[in-house]
Amino acid sequence: MKNYSVLHILDLYHIYKNMDKQEKKNFYQHKCDYYQFFVKIIIIIASLASLAYLVSDYQLNGHTLIPTLVPRLSILVPLVFYIFLETRTNNYKIKIFLNYLMLNLIVMATIWSVYHLEIKTHFCEGATILNFLFLICCLGSSPRSGILGYGIYFTEILLSHQFNHYENLNVILSLNIPCFGAIILAHCLLDLGELDHYLTSRKLEQALITDPLTTAYNRHKMYRLIEDNHLIINEFPVSLIMLDIDHFKKINDTHGHTVGDQALHYLGKTLMKEIDNAGTVIRFGGEEFVIILPGCPPEKACKMAEDLRKKIALSEKTPANFTISAGIVEYNGNFKKSIKAVDHALYHAKESGRNQVFWNREFHTELTG
């Protein structure tokens, strides 16, 4: 288990403060996804458990259930809507809103029930128990959401005093105010702890889909794009470029594998820099790279590949002064066939003399049709 020193916590806080809106959104979506099932189960159990207070109501109200029966049972209606709505959204903000809404509805149902009790002093214990529900709910939310949700809860207690007239309001406040501070502090610390977990998991995730030598993505990333229907979701056309280093075996034999690795590293970094956000660069195997270009027609992909070819051929920084060849096809909806077609296109570029880009519409139609 990791030990969290004060310095480490401060480092995490600075990381959090420097995150942009999208990064924070991704973090809280991750956090909500991780804890939401647990939080939902606790809220459902708490809602149903609140019905068990009918037993104590029966004893406190002179052996009758009638006054508090409706207030206690009223929680079942929003509970049904909560379960229905929560399962139909993936948006973390909506889920967090539903969680805190449900918690505060439990509070309101409890306050309504207490209104019908002859002895109201036991609300103190109930209010203290509700603090634990807010602590659990904070697992999947942001501190800001927790403060807002808890603030509403605290306001409900103060407003309900106007008609419930708690004889021990000072005791209720003396117990809940420290709980409020403790929960918010715990919320912030849990948030930073979860941020540490999120950053670690993201690094592992990145390592899983990244080729360490070339810094390009690996086949895991490619398969994930296919499984997630990334190529279908994005706008057509989608172009595929397959390229590799000409005479790579000769480079290894002549200059050694270290220089060969340097050549691969240089090519990978160059491709990642030049393609940037326009597509995804994948080390397909050995010296072969595949570039996936969503929303890019093959004519434009040809120009991009030609620019890359010239940049590599004319660069004085390339180890062993290598060149590249490339083949291009338009993705036809079947990734296996498209990869086979682009491999044929690359082979055609090699057979035609290397250090060139090949794409031909008739050739492409024949291979992918």
Q: Are residues 181 and 252 in the same domain?
A: no
Q: Are residues 189 and 158 in the same domain?
A: yes
Strands 288-294 and 238-245: antiparallel
Q: Are residues 269 and 177 in the same domain?
A: no
3-state secondary structure 31-49: HHHHHHHHHHHHHHHHHHH
Residue 67 has pLDDT above 90, yes or no: no
CB 242 within 8 A of CB 301: no
Residue 362 has pLDDT above 70, yes or no: no
pLDDT at residue 230 in the model: 59
Tell me if 214 is assigned to some domain. no
Residue 263 has pLDDT above 80, yes or no: yes
63 CB-contact burial (10 Å; exposed 0-12 / middle 13-18 / buried 19+): exposed
pLDDT at residue 300 in the model: 92
Q: Is 271 helix (H, G, I), strand (E, B) or coil?
A: helix
What value does the mean pLDDT take over residues 94-102? 94
* Rounded CA separation 251/308 (Å): 20
CATH of the domain at 260: 3.30.70.270
What value does the mean pLDDT take over residues 264-276? 93
pLDDT at residue 233 in the model: 46
pLDDT at residue 79 in the model: 95
Number of domains in the chain: 2
DSSP string, 193-261: HHHHHHHHHHHHHHHHHB-TTT-SB-HHHHHHHHHTTHHHHSPSPEEEEEEEETTHHHHHHHH-HHHHH
Tell me if 262 is assigned to some domain. yes
pLDDT at residue 186 in the model: 87
* Rounded CA separation 205/164 (Å): 54
Residue 76 has pLDDT above 90, yes or no: yes
Lowest mean pLDDT among 100-104, 119-123, 183-187, 339-343: 119-123
pTM exceeds 0.75 for this model:
no
Residue 63 has pLDDT above 80, yes or no: no
Tell me if 88 is assigned to some domain. yes
* Rounded CA separation 335/341 (Å): 10
* Rounded CA separation 329/344 (Å): 10
Average pLDDT taken over every residue of the chain: 87
Q: How confident is the model at residue 3 (pLDDT cuts 50, 70, 90)?
A: low
Q: Which residue has the tokens 């195997």?
A: 285
**Residues spanned by the domain of 81:** 6-208
Count of alpha carbons within 13 angstroms of residue 311, beta-carbon side? 14
* Sign of the alpha-carbon dihedral angle for 255, 260, 261, 266: positive
Q: How confident is the model at residue 133 (pLDDT cuts 50, 70, 90)?
A: confident
Residue 363 has pLDDT above 70, yes or no: no
What value does the mean pLDDT take over residues 46-68? 79
